[in-house]
Structure formats: C-alpha cells, structure tokens
Chains A and B, each alone.
Chain A
Amino acid sequence: MTSRALNQSPPARWLQLLTAALLAAACGAPESVGKKPDTDGERTVVVSHSVDMQGVNELTTQSTAITNALLYHAFFLQLVEEQADYQDGPPTFEPQLAESYEFSEDRLRLTFHLRPDVVWSDGVPVTAEDVRWTWQGHIHPDVPWGLIEAKKHITDVEVVDPHTAVFHFSKAYAAQLQDAVIGVILPKHAWGVIPFEEWRENTTWFRDHMVVNGPFALESWEPQQRYVLRRNKKYFDSKLPKVDRIVFEVIPEENSRLALLRSGKAHLVEIIAPQDAARIEADPDLKLLPYIPRVFFFLTWNVSRPLFADKEVRQALTMAIDRQEIVDSIHYGYANVSYSPFPSNHWAYNKNLQPWPYDPGRAKEMLARAGWTDSDGDGILDRDGQPFSFELVTNAESQVRLDALVMIQDHLKRVGVDVRTRSMEFNALLDPLNAHDFDAAIQALALDTSLNTSFFLHTSAIDDGFNWGAYSNPEMDRLIDQTAAEVDPLAAKPIYDQLQALLHEEAPLTFLYETQRLCAASKNLHDVDPNSISTFFNLRRWRLEDTE
C-alpha cells in the first residue's frame, strides 16, 4: 500500500478509533483495525476494475476481456504465447508449455515439444494427453466453443509421447500457428470427470474444481465485488510471479474507479478516460501508460443505399468531417486520425497513404459534381428535389461514440448535409446493422493477429459477418483471399499495402481515428507493460516496490 493510504482525514481516523474501542471492549484483544489479517509481508497489488470475471472454463464461459486476460495470462498456459512485438514484422511466439515447435516440410504437421517440468497445481504433470483432450473439447459440438472456427483445418492432435504433441492440418495457410495455439490447455485429469456433453449444464462446477498450471491461482471470488489471485507455488518458473496476491476490486462506476487509484487504495486502473489523463500526469505518485490497441473506429456507410453508392460522395463526406477536432476534443489528443484498419505501429500498415484532409470546400465541390447543390436555399443540399438527409446511429453505451456522433452531425451541417442522430443500445443496434437496414453508423472493430480483414470487408461477410455497409468489390475480395492464403506473412506485405490503398480510395468506411488506451498505475508498481493483447499480458512479471 502506498503511504497515502495511511494519510487519512480526521473523521476516518475517528471512526477507526471508535471501532477499535468497541472491539477492545468486545474481544479484549487490542488489534490494529483496518489491517488485513495474515497478509503481513505479502506483496498485494490492487487493481480497480470495471467488471467482474465471468468464469474459469474458457470453453463454456462468456469471453470478456478480463476473463480472457486472466485465463490466458494468470491461470492457464498456452503452448506458445504470441507477443505484441508486431511493429517491425510478424509477431514472435514465446515458449510457454511448449519449449519448441516445428512445421513439417509440407506444413501439414506441426509438432510441439512440451516442457518436462510443468505440473498442475495439484501436482499432476501436464502432458500431451491434456493437449489432445483440450483440442477434443474445442471441437466438440455440444460444448460449443465460440472460437471453434480457428480449429476447422485441424484434423487431429496426435500424442507421440507424454511430452510431444503433433497437430495435423488439412491444408497449409497463413494463420496455422495462431490457430493451433489459441485456447489454453485444460486439466484432463480434473475436468475430464464430466463428459463434454454435460459441460453446458455444469458451468459452475469448474470453479469449484479449479486446477491451474499458470502463474496464479484463484484465491477467492465474491461475485460483483472482487476476485483475488494468489501466486501458484507450483508454477514452473520459480522466479515468477513477483507478487503474492492480486486483488481485482469490481467498480463499475468510472469516477469511483479512478478515485480508488488516486486515493492510494489501488495500484492500477486498466483504462481511464482521456479527460482524466492530465490529472494522472500531474500526480507525483501516478504514471500514465498509453498504448495503441488493435481497435479501429469508423463510420460505415450503407453503400446499398443510393445516397452512399457513389465513392466520390463517400470521399466528400469523409473530407467534411474534421476528424482532428474530434481527436483533440473528445480524446484530448490521445488518438490519431486514421485511414487503415491496422494500427499505425503495425508492420503491415501502409505508411505511404495520407488521410483525407479536412476540406469542407473541396467536399462541397465534389458533392456539387455529384449533383448535390442547395437549389432551394434552405441550407441543405438537394438533388432532384430530395434533401441530403440521413440518419446516423451508434450504440448508447459508448460515451465517446455518442460524443463523436454529436460532433459529426455538426460538421456535416456546415457543408449542408442534414444528419439525424440516433443512439441505440448495442444489442438492439445489431439487428438493423446485420439486416443492412440503416443509413450510416459509427462503430469500432478489433483485429486479431491473423490480420484477417474478411469479416468486415469481404462480400461473403455481408450475409455472415460484420460487413454491415454491404460493401462488395471483387477486387477487394481477391486481395483479401490472397492475404489469407499466403503462408509467408512478409511476402503478403505488398498485398496488404494494395488492400489498404484500395480501401482508402473506395472509402466504404470512413476511418475516424485510432485511439490510445490509457492505463494508469501507481509509480511503485513496476514492469507493467500493457499492450494490445491485454493490459494484464505480463501479469506474472509485475513487481511492487517496497515502501517504507
């Protein structure tokens, strides 16, 4: 705990004295109140977090960011772990459960050599049997796992010996390694007691029979209040983790969440609002840890509507939105105007393009060329007697998107485009989006490391996927298919460049900006390295400096 925690105001101390007095009277045992029992000398990190975790079994639990973070970086091991070092080239993979791996000549077999010294927290060794059984769970139709798609080209996982497992593929493609290692390895000896068919009916059973092989175990869990991790003494790397306990306090309310950090009662908040960044920077005890996530914010035009069918119109609308002002205003500068779904620090990012400038004059000219002029003088453009008017929707949960909505409405008004705004709950919004029954929408999507852009750009994603704007372009489809088939990622770089250039030119989406995530931490918490995979990516290396 930082020293500030002790620095309480008089009434708080008074309350504590009162409690202490009452206690002394009651138990006759003078005890220092407020100190946690039996945790002396332990290093406890407190995280002030927005949501509860969902469950401990990856295959049946709802995958939320924090649940995934804990399952992948605290409780369980992957075969190898993808790193976030994609700045200069494709990401590398760090050994975890597997010491090494190699592909066969034809890339149809992928062999993993497991560490011999890894045991589950109950002492049972982790073997290739666990790997095979976990894969059987992944693809079992009655489980059914949300990421089952990743395993569709894997035909078998073969146990060669207790420490060697071979993945068999039906074809060679770019994301083979990613697909093989996604999903943490689960304990067959402990959880195999229940057949896969019955997992769905017993989702809570697993938390009561928790066995881990990762750096941390679950010490306690009070739903909607807190969950506490404790170091797993049987973790294969005896030097890790470097803290004894990590307490996640569940605090949905944003101001309260930050208040806990600022009052010294917590060490880390995963994401803070940009407007609070200055306050963190000014605080001598706190530090700001920004990073660029793999999330892109965009405005999708429904190109199946005649209003947005013309790419000149889409370009003009893009140039009529002052994205830099949105960045400066809503994000306090912690964002960059973008033109690509890839993060600007990503190796596949096309550095040779320029975002469409903010140029309302040129936008007006281009709209006029497309036949849109203010012929009746009411301040709104019209063509054939129809005003240029449309509805822009976004989801109500995101204050940032609501704010962007309000500003974009104002910007487009300046060039004579009438925007009606509407916010719906995300869940309700998905209906019109999937049915392509909307004019334009502000949304955000996340890319995974396979760099797959098909799910929101490919023609096939109109009916099954997130191609909400119903954009269809054979050239785009061809490029996407090429990137997915290319086994060597670096060889695909020119295709990625072409794809981004085409996307920029066609503007079926107006990319708004990429934001920086702002993680805030106390200065005595060291080696926190939040990255686009997770804020909690290197949880096992977090270190708490001794105070006093």
Chain B
Amino acid sequence: MLRFILRRLGAATLLLFLVLTATFFLIHIAPGEPVRLFDNPRISNEQKLELRELYGLDKPLGQQYLRWLGSVLRGDWGASITFERPAFDVLMERMPNTVLLVLAAVLVEHALGLALGLAAAARAGTTLDRWIRYLSLLLFSIPGFWLALLAIELLAVRWSWFPINQMTSEGAQALPPLQRLLDLLHHLALPALILGIARCGAVVRFARNGLLEVLNQDYIRTAHAKGLHPARVLWVHALPNALIPLVQRFGMALPIMLSGTVVIEVIFSWPGLGNAVFQAIRQRDYPVILASTALTGTMVVLGSLLADLLHAWIDPRVRHEA
C-alpha cells in the first residue's frame, strides 16, 4: 500500500514539475508584460528597464527559469506583482474560500443527486422515475453561468432572499461566532446551490443506474430469498456496492469543480482562487499564475489519490491489486 502511494506521488511530482515548466515558458513567451510596468503614461523607458530589473525580467529566459526554479525549491514562490505580497500567501488566503465553496457544492451535488437517484431507482419504471430522469437531463444541460445570472437577478436582486455577493457582511467580524457562521452560510448558500444543482444531474444517473444494476445481482436475490427485510437488503447490501463508482467519481470531481468555480466565483464576486487566478492572468502576474498552477495541481493530485485510497478501502478487489 505504501509503495503504491509513494509511486503515485512520485509520478505526480514529476508531472507537476513538467506542467510548471511548460507554464513558465508559455506565460513568459506570450505577449504582454506585468501590468504595473505600464500603469501610467509618464513612465519612461528608463524606468521600465529599472522595474524589469527589479522583477528579474531583464535576464535571458533560461536564466530567469533557473532562478525561479532555485527559489521555488527553497519554498519561495516570489512576490506577487499586483498584490504586493508573497504570491503563495495571496493564494493561501484565497484557498480556504474556494475549498469551502467546492465542498459545499459537492455536498449539495451529492445529497440532491443521491436522493433523486435512489428515489428513481426505488420506483424504477414509474412516472416519478421518468420525471426525475427528465429533470436530471435538464440540469445536465443547463449552463451553470446562466442559472447563476437568473438566480442573482431573481433571488438576490428582486426578492432579496440572499445577499448579492461576497462572503461576509460588513461588520460580520465583530459578531459572535454563531452569528458569523450564519452570515457566512447565508452568503455561501446561493453560489453553492447553483454550482451543486448545475452538476447533480450526473450523480442522479450514476446513483440510479448503479443501484438498479446491483439490485439485479445474484447476491441481492439471494439476500431476498433468505427472507431478509427488504429495507435491510437495500441499505446494507445493495447501497454500499452501488456507491463504489460514485466514490471514484468523487475524486475526479475536484478538477471539474475547480473549473466550474471560476465562472461562479467571477459572477458572485467570491474571493476565491478562481477569481485571483483570473485576475493574475489578465495582469500577467507571473508568480501568482505559477504558484496557483502548482497549488491547484497539488490539490487535484491529492484529491484523486484520496479517492483511490477511499475506493481501495471500500472495494477489497482494488486493495489486492495494489
């Protein structure tokens, strides 16, 4: 088991290194320079040279790369050009916000998806089943950003059920803990719901088809034949097995979710990673772009590793293979 983890981590590190190297050269070759070199018309060429020197942008690219690599190996990701802070700090500030949003959305996605999927499977062939499947298809096909726009316009602006944006209310920091938590949840609700709902269609199908397949297996028939209570058969024998493919999917959910959050974060002004990276790309904030590539890459690698381990823990067949 340990060897399996180490091998996976080794491969992941190598891959991450390659991705980072490619990103480094890509963003430096691309047209444009960090924004603050151009932020006012009175800045002279001489001054630009000085600023370039300051950020080490005057050296040949190979040399810049080696220097960057050296400092990264020492754990230094460089200072963000626009945020005036170490790039890594900027991202660490943002990461919890994105993780919070992603976790909440994954929760919504799976809670809603499982409930609907299992309901459909339990009543397979009925009208309910059919309508749930139509619904999942619809959810699967609606663009998330459109749902978000509609939700803001109706639920936040017109009816004021939810705050329009951001993570907290002004002055929330001074509130007692419980009230602060409620304030945060109130802000979190809409983006998490939108993100979760827009993605739960697939879970519905997974859950429904998985459960139906398992219910047809011999050992379930045997369990029924033994005279076990149907509920017990469903919850103890069928469900865990039906959920195995979902666990695997769970691991892959992270990168997909990270993609999904960019749009949602931009629309909801959520101060997360996606927003920061969006801005960093526009302003050519090289250190932030590189650090975020590394960070999201690591998160994703760890996420899929975790999913595999979880999978191995649930499904003994995988454990023996490994």
Interface residues of A (CB under 8 A from B): 8-9, 11-12, 15, 19, 22-23, 26-27, 33, 36-39, 46, 54-55, 60-64, 141, 144, 146-150, 200, 203-204, 220, 222-226, 228, 247, 249-253, 255-256, 259-260, 262-263, 265, 397, 424-425, 427-428, 430-432, 445-446, 448, 455-456, 463-466
Which residues from A are CB-within-8-Å of B156?
A: 256, 259
Output the least CB separation between A329 and chain B (Å): 24
Q: Bound complex: CA of A431 vs CA of B50, how far in Å? A: 19
Which residues from A are CB-within-8-Å of B159?
A: 9, 11-12
Is the CB of B284 closer than 8 A to any CB of chain A?
yes
Output the least CB separation between A284 and chain B (Å): 18
Output the least CB separation between A182 and chain B (Å): 10
Which residues from B are CB-within-8-Å of A39?
A: 171
B270 nearest CB neighbor, chain A only: A224
Which residues from A are CB-within-8-Å of B188?
A: none
| Interface of chain B residues 153 through 185 with chain A (CB within 8 A) | 153, 156-157, 159-161, 164-168, 170-171, 173-176, 178-179, 182
Which residues from B are CB-within-8-Å of A9?
A: 159-161
Output the least CB separation between B176 and chain A (Å): 7
Which residues from B are CB-within-8-Å of A144?
A: 47, 50-51, 54
Q: Bound complex: CA of A250 vs CA of B276, how far in Å? A: 14
A62 and B50 in contact, given A226-B170, A259-B157, A430-B38 (Cβ under 8 angstroms)? no
| Interface of chain B residues 69 through 96 with chain A (CB within 8 A) | 79, 82-85, 93-94
B: number of interface residues (CB 8 Å): 57
A225 and B47 in contact, given A37-B175, A256-B152, A256-B165 (Cβ under 8 angstroms)? no
Q: Bound complex: CA of A8 vs CA of B85, how far in Å? A: 40
The reply to whether A466 and B41 contact each other, CB–CB distance below 8 Å, is yes
A430 and B39 in contact, given A33-B179, A225-B168, A225-B271 (Cβ under 8 angstroms)? no
| Interface of chain B residues 113 through 128 with chain A (CB within 8 A) | none
The reply to whether B44 and A464 contact each other, CB–CB distance below 8 Å, is yes
Output the least CB separation between A73 and chain B (Å): 18
The reply to whether B85 and A464 contact each other, CB–CB distance below 8 Å, is no
Output the least CB separation between B77 and chain A (Å): 15
Task: Apart from A146-B47, A425-B32, list 16 A-B contacts with CB within 8 A.
Answer: A12-B161, A23-B178, A23-B182, A27-B176, A54-B84, A146-B43, A204-B84, A220-B173, A226-B170, A250-B269, A256-B156, A425-B282, A427-B38, A428-B31, A430-B32, A432-B31
Which residues from A are CB-within-8-Å of B168?
A: 222, 225
The reply to whether B42 and A251 contact each other, CB–CB distance below 8 Å, is no
A37 nearest CB neighbor, chain B only: B174
The reply to whether A46 and B269 contact each other, CB–CB distance below 8 Å, is no
Output the least CB separation between A138 and chain B (Å): 13
| Interface of chain B residues 20 through 56 with chain A (CB within 8 A) | 30-33, 35-36, 38-45, 47, 50-51, 54
Q: Bound complex: CA of A63 vs CA of B43, how far in Å? A: 12
Output the least CB separation between B274 and chain A (Å): 12
A455 nearest CB neighbor, chain B only: B41
B80 nearest CB neighbor, chain A only: A203
The reply to whether A62 and B39 contact each other, CB–CB distance below 8 Å, is yes
Which residues from B are CB-within-8-Å of A260?
A: 164-165
Which residues from B are CB-within-8-Å of A427?
A: 31-33, 35, 38, 282-284
Which residues from A are CB-within-8-Å of B39?
A: 62-64, 146
Output the least CB separation between A162 and chain B (Å): 32
Output the least CB separation between A209 and chain B (Å): 15
Is the CB of B98 closer than 8 A to any CB of chain A?
no
The reply to whether B271 and A223 contact each other, CB–CB distance below 8 Å, is yes
A22 and B182 in contact, given A64-B39, A223-B93, A249-B166 (Cβ under 8 angstroms)? yes
Output the least CB separation between A221 and chain B (Å): 11
The reply to whether A253 and B40 contact each other, CB–CB distance below 8 Å, is no
Output the least CB separation between B309 and chain A (Å): 34
The reply to whether A11 and B166 contact each other, CB–CB distance below 8 Å, is no
A26 and B40 in contact, given A247-B170, A250-B269, A259-B157 (Cβ under 8 angstroms)? no
Q: Bound complex: CA of A260 vs CA of B271, how far in Å? A: 18
Which residues from B are CB-within-8-Å of A12?
A: 159-161
Q: Bound complex: CA of A62 vs CA of B284, how far in Å? A: 14
Is the CB of B275 closer than 8 A to any CB of chain A?
yes
B171 nearest CB neighbor, chain A only: A36
Is the CB of B249 closer than 8 A to any CB of chain A?
no
Closest 6 CB pairs of A and B: A427-B32, A36-B171, A224-B271, A203-B84, A428-B31, A431-B31
A60 nearest CB neighbor, chain B only: B84
Q: Bound complex: CA of A413 vs CA of B161, how far in Å? A: 49
B84 nearest CB neighbor, chain A only: A203
Output the least CB separation between B86 and chain A (Å): 9
Which residues from B are CB-within-8-Å of A247?
A: 170
Which residues from A are CB-within-8-Å of B82?
A: 54, 62
Output the least CB separation between B284 and chain A (Å): 6
B86 nearest CB neighbor, chain A only: A204
Output the least CB separation between B26 and chain A (Å): 13
Is the CB of B186 closer than 8 A to any CB of chain A?
yes
B46 nearest CB neighbor, chain A only: A464
Which residues from B are CB-within-8-Å of A456?
A: 41
Q: Bound complex: CA of A424 vs CA of B30, how far in Å? A: 12
Which residues from B are CB-within-8-Å of A148?
A: 47
Q: Bound complex: CA of A63 vs CA of B93, how far in Å? A: 23
Q: Which of A148, A424, A466 has the most CB of B within 10 A?
A: A148
Is the CB of B266 closer than 8 A to any CB of chain A?
yes
Which residues from A are CB-within-8-Å of B153?
A: 255
Q: Which of B51, B84, B159 has the most CB of A within 10 A?
A: B84
The reply to whether A19 and B32 contact each other, CB–CB distance below 8 Å, is no
Q: Bound complex: CA of A1 vs CA of B76, how far in Å? A: 46
Q: Bound complex: CA of A430 vs CA of B168, how far in Å? A: 38
B53 nearest CB neighbor, chain A only: A144
Which residues from B are CB-within-8-Å of A61?
A: 84
Output the least CB separation between A461 and chain B (Å): 9
Is the CB of B267 closer than 8 A to any CB of chain A?
yes
Which residues from A are CB-within-8-Å of B171?
A: 36-37, 39
The reply to whether B47 and A26 contact each other, CB–CB distance below 8 Å, is no
Output the least CB separation between B206 and chain A (Å): 33
The reply to whether B266 and A252 contact each other, CB–CB distance below 8 Å, is yes
Output the least CB separation between B150 and chain A (Å): 12
A228's partner among B166, B170, B267, B283 (CB-CB below 8 A) is B170
Which residues from B are CB-within-8-Å of A466?
A: 41
Which residues from A are CB-within-8-Å of B51?
A: 144
Identify 29 residue pairs between A and B in the complex whose beta-carbon atoms are under 8 Å apart, listed by A's number.
Answer: A9-B159, A12-B161, A23-B182, A27-B178, A37-B171, A37-B174, A39-B171, A62-B39, A63-B39, A144-B50, A146-B47, A147-B40, A223-B271, A224-B276, A225-B168, A251-B165, A251-B166, A252-B266, A255-B152, A259-B164, A263-B160, A265-B164, A425-B282, A427-B38, A427-B282, A430-B32, A448-B42, A455-B42, A464-B45
